[in-house]
Structure 1
Amino acid sequence: MKPIFYLLSFLIFSLSFSQNEAFTETEVAISDIIDGSLVVPKTSEKTDLVIIIAGSGPTNRNGNQNFLKSNNLKKLAYALADANISSFRYDKRIVKQIKTGKVDVKSMRFEDFVADAKDVVAHFKNKDEFSKIYIAGHSQGSLVGLLAVDNNVDGFISLAGAGQNIGDVIVDQINNTARQFVEDTKKVVAKLKEGKTTSDYPSALGAMFNMETQPFMISWMTYNPTEVIAEVNIPILIINGTKDLQVSVEEANLLAKANKNTELHIIENMNHVLFTIEGDTLENSKSYNESFRELNPELIETIVAFIKKQD
């Protein structure tokens, strides 16, 4: 049995080693509050770089939160490396603030996330180590990325990004999941859109509309994604899945209609965290914490084809 055991051990080690040899992964500090992972394929040629921006909440560079671990953004980075494309993914500023015990939700604004994304772009543009720079924003990160687009960015990829104002998206989500609170939600959203805070909301909506987070929500609601994307003059890829519980296909259609430079790709059975879901809503919801799942293969093929098309 020993020779077989050693042979298996050698094969497992060799496989792991060869996979690690395909790229390098380096910790990079962009600023005092932004750290991330730079993944670069081992090649003698310059590669394109995709800057991956995470979605809402205290989401880290891998796409995870405390009780939700999918590793979807980490898997995206590694899949891009397999296609000879570099990437940088970073922890949102609130992740580091939580680690250091310096969270100040009251003073946080949506524009802070945009500023962080712009700093990341500028950092790598100044390095001049990559052929082209792309932004790939997931969920909330889609709007953040759109607002961060400047002359340093060569292409933009929206992954499950909303087309409506976030206030309207919230109303739709509540209507689909807790319809008894939809009228209350409409009233709160209307106030926030006016730039005013309000304490008139049911306790069940406290996690979303508590007084500390309302200033941030107000700053977020000042932007309409369709108006923002209409001003973007670089190639754009919009991707959404038919099994997305949070951002519907209609949202992607709205973004696509707002800019003639867009390429729209709807992926059958892909959900919000970019996994393939063949079953029901329960399977879909559970997948947010199932890091063993693989990313939808069509997602990777579509992103790679879009990037290679621009070369």
Structure 2
Amino acid sequence: EVDKDKIIVIGHSQGASFLPYIIEGEEVFAAIALSPALLEITDQMVYQIEYQIDYYKKQNINNSLDSVIEMLEDILSEGKKVNESMKKGEIDPNELYLDNYRGEFLIRWSELSRNMVEKFVNMDVPLLIINGTKDLKTPYELLKEYEKELKKKNDLEILYIEDMSHELVNFQTLKFEDKVVDQIVLWLESQGL
């Protein structure tokens, strides 16, 4: 038999963002969100691409990243158009956007990703959010912007792991970031598990 007091649900990226839906109505001990997106998906995409452009411009000392920056600027232009269409309710469910997203998928994703901060705050289980400081997809700076609002949830803890990327890899060593597991274990122990 499964001990419901020992079930922990962990989600990463999109899976982390959907944790409020995943655990809703379920009997679980806690939830852990690794690198969650906090914005409606098309807003998140625009934020992410703008962040990446800024990041690569700072790294582009010898112009070796010019082609990457140019590609991202093209994607940003298209992403802003998609974001605007989403806001106006003009996404065609049958059309492809950003080269690989069906409109129907984007519309559903948009509906699910609205008001994520509020959804995290209203979760009825303890929540740990972990984000890396080198995450180019869900930048830790965005999490910092919402930290005060998120901390309205008394049983929420936010941890930042230095030099960790979105893929849970240390930017310096290019290896899995062991601190993720270490921090999860410490947090679970602090929760009485």
Cα deviation digits, residues 205-231 of structure 1 (max 9, x gap): 313x4xxx2111111111221121121
Q: 2:6 aligns with which of 118, 132, 135?
A: 132
Counterpart residue number, 2:190: 309
Question: Does the 8 A contact of 1:243 with 1:271 survive in 2?
Answer: yes
Code of the residue aligned with 2:18 in structure 1: it is V
Counterpart residue number, 1:169: 44
State the shift of 1:192 in Å: 2.4
Counterpart residue number, 1:59: none
Instruction: Say yes or no: does 1:214 pair with 2:103.
Output: yes
Inter-partner Cα distance in structure 1 for 2:146 and 2:124: 14
Q: 1:130 to 1:232 in 2, by over 3 A?
A: closer
Counterpart residue number, 2:171: 277
Cα deviation digits, residues 251-304 of structure 1 (max 9, x gap): 33355432423111001011111111117xxxxxxx5xxxxx3x2122111100
Question: Does the 8 A contact of 2:5 with 2:28 survive in 1?
Answer: no
Question: Does the 8 A contact of 1:193 with 1:221 survive in 2?
Answer: no
Code of the residue aligned with 1:215 in structure 2: it is E
Counterpart residue number, 2:120: 229
Q: Any unmatched runs of 5+ in structure 2? A: 54-71
Question: Does the 8 A contact of 1:269 with 1:278 survive in 2?
Answer: yes
Report sequence identity in percent: 28
Q: 2:29 aligns with which of 148, 154, 157?
A: 154
Name which of structure 1's ranges 131-140 and 178-187 shifts more when overlaid on structure 2: 178-187
Inter-partner Cα distance in structure 1 for 2:23 and 2:145: 19
State the shift of 1:155 in Å: 0.9
Question: Does the 8 A contact of 2:96 with 2:103 survive in 1?
Answer: no
Cα deviation digits, residues 176-226 of structure 1 (max 9, x gap): 341244243222122224443249x998x313x4xxx21111111112211
The two structures, once aligned, show a CA RMSD in angstroms of 2.6
State the shift of 1:143 in Å: 1.6
Cα deviation digits, residues 90-135 of structure 1 (max 9, x gap): xxxxxxxxxxxxxxxxxxxxxxxxxxxxxxxxxxxxx424542111
Code of the residue aligned with 1:243 in structure 2: it is K
Question: Does the 8 A contact of 1:239 with 1:252 survive in 2?
Answer: no
Secondary structure at the counterpart of residue 99 of structure 2? helix
Q: 1:180 to 1:243 in 2, by over 3 A?
A: same
Q: 1:196 to 1:190 in 2, by over 3 A?
A: same
Q: If you compute each CA radius of gyration, which structure gives the higher value, 1 or 2?
A: 1
State the shift of 1:160 in Å: 0.7
Code of the residue aligned with 1:145 in structure 2: it is L
Counterpart residue number, 2:136: 245
Secondary structure at the counterpart of residue 221 of structure 1? helix
Counterpart residue number, 1:56: none
Question: Does the 8 A contact of 1:193 with 1:218 survive in 2?
Answer: no
Q: 2:78 aligns with which of 184, 208, 220?
A: 184
Q: TM-score, normalised by structure 2?
A: 0.74
State the shift of 1:250 in Å: 2.3
Inter-partner Cα distance in structure 2 for 1:301 and 1:266: 13
Inter-partner Cα distance in structure 2 for 1:187 and 1:250: 24
Q: 1:265 to 1:143 in 2, by over 3 A?
A: same
